[in-house]
Amino acid sequence: MTYGPQSYVDMHYGIPRSYAERRSSAASYQNECHHVLPVSEDLLKPFCVGVDPEIQRLRVEEREQMKHLNNQFACFIEKVRCLQQRNQVLATKWHFLQKHVALPKRDLKPLFENCISNLGKQLEFLMSKKEQIEAERHKIRQKVEEFKSKYEEEIKQRMATENDFVLLKKDVDSAFMDKVKLEAKATAMKGEIEFLRCVHNEEIELLQEQIQEAAVLMQMDNRQDLDVTSVLQNVESWYQSVAQRSKEEANVLYRSKYQELKKQRCQMYQDLKTFRCEIGKLSWMVQRLKSETERKKKQVACLQSAICDAQQRGSCSLKDAQDKQDELYGALQNSKDDLACLRQSYQELLQDKMALDIEITTYKSLLEGEETRLFSGNHRNGVVFSNPSKGVGGCVSVLGYSSQNGRLSSRSGEYSSGSRRNGTGHRDKDCYKMGCIARKISKNVANPCTSGGEDSSPGGGCYSTKGCGNIFRDFQRHRGSNCVAGGYGTAHVGRCVCDYSRASNSVDIC
């Protein structure tokens, strides 16, 4: 059996049909209620399962690929054969040349020995040169170490001299400050000496005036014959004693002041040393703080640059993260939409699958019942077409579902009569109740079929247009076949017509 458009037209749910051929004969018997047709013996033969066109296409492609591979394999075999022939020719040429051409034999041992001796001499020369270079390198390394030690010593001496220079500079500065202070003190002492000298001169003048007054008095006393020489001697001795006492007092005063100044100088010198030490420490601390400040400034600059870089990187990363978040949110929304669409399509496919399973189960039960009734031999085989104008009396007889007397089952779900008259009686208990099948199928698809009232014709049909008809349409849509004329959407959509094809042993129900 071949599959194609023409074969699909003649197939419905895997059951061959010839509805067009039977339609003309059915029209001639519309005025009759029941008509029995002969059954083809081909129906008793087993079903033959055909090959899917997709499998045929794959087989054709595989056949073409095998042809191509065979051609390539033949080409490869031809190439191998040619290469083997060329290899054989070259081998024969090689053997021929080895046999007939005598190669000149030369003793290469002296040449190699000469080369080895030259290489040994070069090696010895290079080894001696290497030893010399190693000795020179050792000497240069020693000199470098000496220069390094000398340089370190010079650096240490320089640091020591710089420290000594700093200390001497400090001493010179302190000496200069002492000199300045001593000069200031000397000028002050000179001024004080001049002042004391002036005071001394004034005192001398005062004493001289007193002496002159005393002399005057003595002159006045000469009248009385006083001893002037003794008075003068007394005055002179008194004056000398006063002068000596004043001199001693001045010397004592100057010595005490000098000692005080000397003590002050020593104290100031000690204070100056302590101040210099403190100044040195403070200057060292200032330099250290300056270096630390510079280092901290550099660290702050580095940290600021790092902070700026981190902020820029953070802003960039945040922007990238936001962009990625937006992209992921959009992808999530798209995924949700796709998931909703997939769920909807999945639900539709589940509904289609359920309908197909119900349809397959129904037809399987019908076919099994038909086979049992065919092989039982107790029922009469025949095909009966219903008369659509008969109302309740219109019946259809399906193979294996007619009564024992060959009567038709009612389209409205009632039993047909036991007689052979058209539309008379509805109490034959051997007639199959077609409306019950419709009600069972409709109940599985959530659209129950009421007996005798689903279509628009009088008396109704056995299949509902909203229930079973949808199952048939969905199944035909998936199978790729079309409904024959007088099918869905008409007033008699629920009727079951059992048609037999002489070309194949299968049943088609539209």
Cα–Cα distances in Å, from 190 out to 130, 135, 186, 414?
86, 79, 6, 162
The predicted pLDDT at position 282 comes to: 82
Do residues 434 and 451 touch, judged by C-beta distance below 8 A? Answer: no
Maximum mean pLDDT: which of 2-6, 238-242, 410-414: 238-242
Which of 46-60, 215-229, 317-331, 413-427 has the lowest average pLDDT?
413-427
How far apart, in Å, do the first and last CA atoms of the chain sit? 22
- Give tens-digit pLDDT for 159-206: 888 888 888 888 888 888 888 888 888 888 888 888 888 888 888 888
**Neighbour-count burial of 227, counting CB atoms closer than 10 A to its CB (0-12 exposed, 13-18 middle, 19+ buried):** exposed
Portion of the chain with pLDDT greater than 70, in percent: 59
Residue 42: which pLDDT band, with cuts at 50, 70 and 90? low
Rounded Cα–Cα distance for residues 374 and 44 (Å): 8
Helix 228-376 with 109-221: angle, nearest 10 deg? 150
Q: Check whether 383 has a pLDDT greater than 50.
A: no
Average pLDDT of the residues in 237-242 = 80
Mean pLDDT of 111-120: 86
Say how many C-beta atoms besides its own lie within 10 A of residue 254's C-beta.
14
CA distance 303 to 296: 10
pLDDT in tens, 60-99: 888 898 888 888 888 888 988 899 999 999 988 888 887 7
How much is the average pLDDT of 326-342? Answer: 88
DSSP secondary structure letters along 218-242:
HHHHGGGT--HHHHHHHHHHHHHHH
Average pLDDT of the chain, as a whole number: 68
Residue 347 vs residues 177, 343, 350, 473: alpha-carbon distances, Å? 109, 6, 5, 18
Q: What is the pLDDT of residue 391?
A: 37
Where does the pLDDT of residue 493 fall: very low under 50, low under 70, confident under 90, or very high at 90 and above?
very low
DSSP assignment of 120-163 equals HHHHHHHHHHHHHHHHHHHHHHHHHHHHHHHHHHHHHHHHHHHH
pLDDT at 66: 87
- Does residue 417 register a pLDDT over 60? no
Phi, psi of 312 (to 5 degrees): -65, -45
For residue 414, give the 3-state DSSP assignment: coil
Q: Which of 212-226, 343-357, 358-372 has the lowest mean pLDDT?
A: 212-226
pLDDT at 332: 87
Question: How big is the CA angle at 229 (ends 227 and 235), to the nearest 5 degrees?
Answer: 110
State the residue for tokens 């095909």: 383
Q: Tell me, what's the pLDDT at 450?
A: 37
Give whole-number Cα distances, 494 to 65, 437, 483, in Å.
51, 11, 13
Tell me how far apart the alpha carbons of residues 409 and 402 are, in angstroms, rounded to a whole number.
Answer: 6
Q: Report pLDDT for 104.
A: 57
Is the per-residue pLDDT at 413 higher than 50?
no
Instruction: Name the band, by pLDDT with cuts 50, 70 and 90, for residue 462.
Output: very low
pLDDT tens-digit series, residues 391-402 = 333 333 333 333
- Give pLDDT, residue 272: 80
The radius of gyration of the chain from alpha carbons, rounded to an integer in Å, stands at 72
Say if CB 12 and CB 481 are below 8 A apart. Answer: yes
Diameter over CA atoms, the chain: 220
One-letter amino acid for residue 445 of the chain: V
In this predicted model, which residue has the larger pLDDT, 109 or 341?
341
Distance of CA 357 to the CA centre of its chain: 47
Angle between helices 434-444 and 228-376 (to 10 degrees): 170
Per-residue model confidence (pLDDT) at position 3: 42
* pLDDT tens-digit readout, 442-460: 444 444 333 333 333 333 3
Question: Is the pTM value of this prediction over 0.85?
Answer: no
Q: Give the pLDDT score at 105.
A: 60
* DSSP state, residue 16: E
Q: At what angle do helices 434-444 and 468-479 cross, to 10 degrees?
A: 70
pLDDT in tens, 132-167: 898 888 888 888 888 888 888 888 888 888 888 888
Mean pLDDT value of segment 434-443: 41
Q: Is 70 exceeded by the pLDDT of residue 429? A: no
The residue behind tokens 């250290």 is 288
